Chain A
Amino acid sequence: MAYSELVKNFNHIRDYMREFYVYGFKCRNEFTKKSARSYDDERRRLESWLGDYMQFRQTADGKQVFLSIDSRMSRHNPLYQAWKTKSFTDGDITLHFILMDILHVSKKALTLHEITEQMDQYLSYFTKPRVFDSSTVRKKLKEYVEEGIVIAQKHGKTMFYQCSQSNCTLSVDALDFFSEIAPCGVIGSFLLDQYDTCENHFTFKHHYITETMDSEILCAIFLGMREKRTITLKTINRHTERISESQVIPLRIMISVQNGRQYLMAYASQFKRITPFRIDNIVSVTIGDINASFDAMREKLNRMLPHMWGVSTQSRSGQRMEHVAFTIQYAEHEQHIPQRLECEKRCGTITYLDPHTIKFEADVFDASEMIPWIRTFICRITEISFSDKALENQFKSDIEEMYALYGIEGGA
């Protein structure tokens, strides 16, 4: 098939975008999942959509292609472009604009017959006029009724169609802001496209745009969640490339604004417990039946939250609950340290032992999730203990290893 910059299936491009944006160190011959030609096509597409952000580096192994985006500088998420690349046929686009013009201009609802008659008039201006049969037009109208842009009403045996009249009354600034920070923000970007100009009055710091690639998955989860339905997830293990299937009750989306990952917290019947699923590892979502246990399971999750540091609901040690305590010291001029601890402590508690010493404690399902955060206090940790001694030893030996890495005397 001839190359086109548009695509039919987003999942193919989703994988390449992740590779180029998150990783960006692979050469052409390392993309082994698909053929070399497939790699060339996808790279060319991404270059067409995101040319300003594509970069190349020549290495001994070949040319590396990567996307380098400072999301603080680029005022609109450039990855949204990928969602605007759906392919279509020549007939689709011709039919779309003629159909919408006929319905928009008409002051009354029209029958299928009236619509097709008018279509022929539009097309008669062209050298070799296309012919759309009634069933094609009916099918397109049905599709647009489902999308909500056409309204169908039956009078007797005849169906009448008219254009839906609804406009976005939200300001461009609000759309601009929420399109960047709200879940499924790409929908806001579609709305912004309707405006001729969009001045940018916002920038975003610590702005993760990786989740853009997962917008459709997230949207499908929300649709299932809002109707309290069971959903079937197909998830991929990225190390083994193995796909597995799970039937779950979707309960809540948990978002990290410190690493950009998004998780679905769901009751998985196969494990008989509430567990997290990384959304970027979900390859498809199928919405099933309404599940009567939804409210009870969500309530159960709410009761678990005071013991969840992140998303993990069980420890590696086998203990139901793990205790973590550490003490930090700070100087008189470092009052930002207790302030930091206060606003970052989540489900933990803090005790002021003296004017320059604070103790932090927490009881959580999985203490290993806390380790990266605890390490941010390196330079002031005076004591630390974990109920899971293996974890404690790991933490301490990691610090020894860090001393050694930087040649600090006494390191491992």
Chain B
Amino acid sequence: MIFSELYSAYYHTVAAILKAAVDHPLQTDEIYHIVQKHAFGESILHIPSALLEERWQLIKQDGTTPFQKAPYMPLTTLEKRWLKAISLDPRIHLFCDCHFDFSEIEPLFLPEDILIFDQYSDGDDYKNETYIQNFRLILDAIKKKYPLLITLKSRKGNPIHRVMMPEHLEYSEKDDKFRLIGSGNPFGNTINLGRIIHCQPYHQPIENLGKRNAPNQQKVIFELVDKRKSLERVLLHFAHFAKEAEKLDQHLYRITIMYDKEDETELVIRILSFGPMIKVIAPLYFVDLIKQRLLQQKSCEH
């Protein structure tokens, strides 16, 4: 069962409190602090009082505990089954050459139990040794915060060199690709890992690495007519964006979506995919982007 108190924030928080209490007598303030760190907004009203009033008989009045060791939680069978399932995913080799030791455990699912049917077919090659080495080095550089000298293929296929301070890796399931996001590269904040030929730590002194450009947040507003189940389809499709939906009348809705400017072209074609169910109303330049495509389409028909 996934929905079990064994995995609950309350059990997890109490484990953290007991771990501290095994180490030293707890003051009430410390209990509050641990609750705020691990549990929910209103948990502060419940957990400390349950412990201090001895409804949960785990912490003594003097702030110590009868427990001898910090709480230990072994893996549940469900956790082992999930771990075994992900150990069969080719992307696991990006992280380790690990072999799971749960010989008696069946994986929760096998790769053949799942099919992503609309993923792009030019995803990264996770079995490629060079790709794996690059990935691991980049991840190490992100964690330890050192710059990298990256050699990548230009769009014309020529090798080019970039020095970059890596910040994090971004993965898109739709593209099935990783991108390195970082700063210091005057040609952009991102590099597709699939285009990297080689990378190595950069040991030269760096001047003015610069800061990464912050995402350029934009907003598009459109009206949606709820025909052919379009309300549900549209809202699910754009669910991964921060958004707002307002009901204007029985079948008419106004939807506002916040997006990054660099994804504008993609957003234009995603909006077009809903045909006449969506009408962009603002901003004006976005309306023009749609109009321009429709005008071009009209010219194709002659």
| Residues of chain A with a CB closer than 8 A to B68's CB | 101, 105
| Residues of chain A with a CB closer than 8 A to B168's CB | 200-203
Chain B proximity mask over A291-307: 1 for CB below 8 Å, otherwise 0: 00000000000000100
User: Does residue B174 face the partner (Cβ distance < 8 Å to A)?
Assistant: yes
| Residues of chain A with a CB closer than 8 A to B89's CB | 178, 182
User: Does residue B24 face the partner (Cβ distance < 8 Å to A)?
Assistant: no
Of A31-39, A108-116, A369-377, the one with at least 4 CB within 8 A of chain B:
A369-377
Minimum distance in angstroms from A320 CB to a CB of chain B: 20
Select A402's contact among B174, B258, B275, beta carbons within 8 Å. B275
Q: Contact between B294 and A402 (Cβ–Cβ < 8 Å)? A: yes
Of A153-161, A240-248, A255-263, A282-290, the one with at least 4 CB within 8 A of chain B:
A255-263
| Residues of chain A with a CB closer than 8 A to B2's CB | 83, 184, 186-187, 215-216, 219
- Write the chain A residue with the least CB distance to B142: A201
Q: Contact between B41 and A49 (Cβ–Cβ < 8 Å)? A: yes
Q: Contact between B40 and A253 (Cβ–Cβ < 8 Å)? A: no
Q: Contact between A257 and B297 (Cβ–Cβ < 8 Å)? A: no
Select A129's contact among B7, B18, B57, B118, beta carbons within 8 Å. B57
Select B244's contact among A68, A257, A259, A373, beta carbons within 8 Å. A68
CA distance A344 to B54 in the complex (A): 61
| Residues of chain A with a CB closer than 8 A to B9's CB | 81, 84-85, 193
| Residues of chain A with a CB closer than 8 A to B77's CB | 147-148
User: Does residue B173 face the partner (Cβ distance < 8 Å to A)?
Assistant: yes
Minimum distance in angstroms from A305 CB to a CB of chain B: 8
Chain A interface extent, by class: 35 or more
Select B116's contact among A96, A257, A339, beta carbons within 8 Å. A257
CA distance A169 to B272 in the complex (A): 46
- Write the chain A residue with the least CB distance to B9: A84
Q: Contact between A201 and B236 (Cβ–Cβ < 8 Å)? A: no
Q: Contact between A93 and B235 (Cβ–Cβ < 8 Å)? A: no
| Residues of chain A with a CB closer than 8 A to B139's CB | 173, 201
Q: Contact between B240 and A406 (Cβ–Cβ < 8 Å)? A: no
Minimum distance in angstroms from A344 CB to a CB of chain B: 6
Q: Contact between B117 and A178 (Cβ–Cβ < 8 Å)? A: no
Chain A proximity mask over B117-140: 1 for CB below 8 Å, otherwise 0: 111111000000000000000010
CA distance A399 to B298 in the complex (A): 9
Select B82's contact among A87, A166, A187, beta carbons within 8 Å. A187
- Write the chain B residue with the least CB distance to A202: B169
User: Does residue A207 face the partner (Cβ distance < 8 Å to B)?
Assistant: yes
Q: Contact between B41 and A216 (Cβ–Cβ < 8 Å)? A: no
Minimum distance in angstroms from B184 CB to a CB of chain A: 18
- Write the chain B residue with the least CB distance to A373: B273
Q: Contact between A225 and B116 (Cβ–Cβ < 8 Å)? A: no
CA distance A208 to B236 in the complex (A): 9
CA distance A187 to B261 in the complex (A): 34
With contacts A204-B170, A258-B237, A406-B290 taken as known, whether A5 is within 8 angstroms of B96 at the C-beta atoms is: no
User: Does residue A183 face the partner (Cβ distance < 8 Å to B)?
Assistant: yes
User: Does residue B197 face the partner (Cβ distance < 8 Å to A)?
Assistant: no
| Residues of chain B with a CB closer than 8 A to A169's CB | 98, 100-101
Q: Contact between B108 and A219 (Cβ–Cβ < 8 Å)? A: yes
- Write the chain B residue with the least CB distance to A11: B3
Q: Using a CB-CB cutoff of 8 Å, which residues 43-57 of chain B contact chain A?
A: 43, 46, 50, 54-57
| Residues of chain A with a CB closer than 8 A to B211's CB | none
Q: Contact between B82 and A310 (Cβ–Cβ < 8 Å)? A: no
User: Does residue A389 face the partner (Cβ distance < 8 Å to B)?
Assistant: no
With contacts A187-B78, A260-B236 taken as known, whether A81 is within 8 angstroms of B40 at the C-beta atoms is: yes
| Residues of chain B with a CB closer than 8 A to A22's CB | 232, 235-236, 239
Interface residues of B (CB under 8 A from A): 1-12, 14-15, 18, 40-43, 46, 50, 54-58, 60-61, 66-69, 71-80, 82-83, 85-86, 89, 91-92, 95-96, 98, 100-102, 106-110, 112-122, 139, 142-143, 168-175, 179, 181, 232-233, 235-237, 239-247, 253, 258, 260, 269-270, 272-276, 279, 287, 290-298, 300-301
Assuming A22-B232, A163-B74, A405-B279, what are 13 further A-B pairs, CB within 8 angstroms? A5-B40, A21-B239, A93-B10, A94-B58, A104-B69, A121-B66, A204-B170, A205-B171, A216-B1, A216-B2, A226-B106, A343-B120, A401-B275
Interface residues of A (CB under 8 A from B): 4-6, 10, 21-26, 44, 47-49, 51, 55, 57, 59, 64, 66, 68-73, 81, 83-88, 90, 92-94, 96-98, 100-101, 104-105, 121-123, 125-130, 147-149, 163-171, 173-174, 177-178, 181-184, 186-188, 190-191, 193-194, 199-210, 215-216, 219, 222-223, 225-226, 238, 252-261, 305, 308, 310-311, 329, 339, 342-346, 371-373, 375-376, 378-382, 398-399, 401-403, 405-406, 408, 410
Jot down 19 A-B pairs with beta carbons below 8 A, ordered by A.
A10-B3, A22-B232, A22-B239, A24-B244, A51-B41, A84-B7, A122-B57, A125-B60, A148-B78, A149-B6, A166-B102, A183-B85, A191-B75, A201-B143, A215-B2, A252-B114, A260-B237, A379-B300, A408-B294
